A and B are shown apart, each in its own frame.
Chain A
Amino acid sequence: MTDEPSQQHPIRIYLIVWGLLFLISALSYMTDFIDRGFWRWALILLFMALKAGFIVAVFMHVRWERLALMAVVLAPPILLLVLVGLMAIESDYTRSIRFEYFAEGVQEEALPVSTSNKHN
């Protein structure tokens, strides 16, 4: 009923991606044993992006879709990264404000030294 390009691909590619997803999941799980620091976060995000990419591109077929449909799917989440960035900046600011004004008795890492006396 439609002229669309074939939706069917050799089953092999699905099996390969399936295997890769298991492998990457195992690697993701292993990042749990790395100490908190740059490499732990970088690997967590990398494996997350790889898995997401494979699922969307192959399992959800987006790789073989027409560009107009690809754009409907991919452009909004990319734009949402702007929201993520803005909220990260705001949250960091909120935290520093809370430390400065409300932090009596709260222990975490060394409190930032407040250099101003403006709230006295």
Chain B
Amino acid sequence: MTCAVGVERKSVQGASEAPPLMTSFSADWGSDISTLKGVPWGKAMMWVFLVSDTFIFTCFLVGYMAVRMSTVEPWPNPSEVFALQVFGNSVPLLLIAIMTFILISSSGTMAMAVNMGYQRRKDAATSLILVTALLGAMFVGMQAFEWSKLILDEGVRPWSNPFGAPQFGAVFFMVTGFHGLHVSAGVVYLLTIAFRLRRGKYDESNFEIVEITGLYWHFVDLVWVFIFALFYLW
């Protein structure tokens, strides 16, 4: 029996420049011990998780496409279903636009937090993570309001609705429900990391935990980009 014996070859690169693309690819995959040289394991694993989560959301969105394309009944018009009455005028998709704005803002504050983390400005990073969490919580609150409006006021159910094809409700609740769940879990995750950061649990590192947390949060925003475009606008 042999152990994996090999020399971890460092790619030839400067300390602060990106590795040359093609040679680094073959060097990575052709080497021993580890492929993604220099990538902290937490970051690589978070990416693996995000790719798997991408598959899940792809299944839901492709399912939505299949259902919508194959139903013979007209699909409800999201602009009308999700319009809000403001001063007597019906403004289409107003709540959704505000929710998109909030989520993009939270992505921005998260990116700032990552930057602060790498500058070792712990307090700034912690504050920005908390702001991000707050914006995320606001997003979930607005989504909950949207759900209650549709369920209680409009009579939308997973099996029927007054607007059109009966599958609309099932798709809506499934897709936005899973997304909202991810946002909620993200808020808890952000708060956890923020408090641990402030308590000094990551002082020994170069604060890549903030970047790893940021990857999850940007993923949540990314999924919303697709949901917004494909479900609400299309």
Contact = CB atoms under 8 A, between A and B. Distances in A.
A25 B233 contact: no
B108 A18 contact: yes
A8 B37 contact: no
Contact of B111 (A14, A51, A80): A14
Interface string B34-77: 01111110001001101100110010001001111111111000
Nearest to A72: B47
Interface of B: 10-11, 13-19, 21-22, 24-25, 28-29, 35-40, 44, 47-48, 50-51, 54-55, 58, 62, 65-74, 79, 92-93, 97, 100-101, 104, 107-108, 110-112, 115, 118-119, 205-206, 208, 211, 214-215, 218-219, 221-222, 225-226, 228-230, 233-234
Interface of A: 1-9, 11, 14-15, 17-18, 21-22, 25, 28-29, 31-32, 41, 44-45, 47-48, 51-52, 55-56, 58-61, 64-69, 71-73, 76-77, 80, 83-84, 87-88, 90-92, 94-95, 98-99, 102-103, 106, 108
Contacts of A84: 58, 62, 65
A28 B13 contact: no
Nearest to A9: B115
Contact of A52 (B67, B115, B222): B222
Contacts of A1: 40, 205-206
B104 A25 contact: yes
A1 B40 CA distance: 9
B16 A91 contact: no
Contacts of B118: 7-8
B222 A56 contact: yes
Contact of A22 (B18, B65, B101, B233): B101
6 contacts: A3-B37, A28-B229, A29-B97, A66-B18, A66-B37, A91-B67
B205 to A, nearest CB: 8
Contacts of B230: 48
Contacts of B35: 68
A33 B86 CA distance: 18
7 tightest A-B CB contacts, nearest first: A91-B69, A4-B38, A48-B229, A94-B70, A68-B28, A67-B25, A18-B108
Contacts of B111: 14, 17-18, 58-59
Given A66-B19, A66-B37, 9 more contacts: A3-B10, A7-B208, A14-B115, A21-B104, A55-B225, A59-B214, A80-B54, A91-B69, A99-B72
